[in-house]
Amino acid sequence: MTERSDDEKPLSFRELLGSVLAAALGVQSGRNRARDFSRGKASHFIFMGLAFTALFALVLFGIVRLVLYFAGM
C-alpha cells in the first residue's frame, strides 16, 4: 500500500464545510482556494453549497415566522 501525501488526499468533510462557509462569507484565503482546486471535487462543492443554501433559507424562514408569531401577526 502506498500512503498518499497531503497534496493527493481528498478534502475531509471539515475542510469542505470550512471552504463552503468561507465562500458564503467571501473570506476564502488564497492558500485554501488553491487547496480546494487541487484536492476537491466539484460535485462535492456543488452538493454542499446547495445543502448550505437550503439550510440557510430554512433558518431565515423560521426566524421570520418566529418574529411574526411574537409580533401577533
CB 44 within 8 A of CB 11: yes
Alpha carbon distances (Å) from 69 to 5, 60, 61, 73: 54, 14, 12, 6
pTM: 0.77
* Each residue's pLDDT expressed in tens, for the chain with a length of 73 residues: 566 666 678 999 999 999 999 999 999 999 999 999 999 999 999 999 999 999 999 999 999 999 999 998 8
User: In the block, which residue shows the cell 500512503?
Assistant: 3
Q: Domain residue spans in the chain? A: 13-70
SS3 label, residue 15:
helix
20-30 pLDDT tens trace: 999 999 999 99
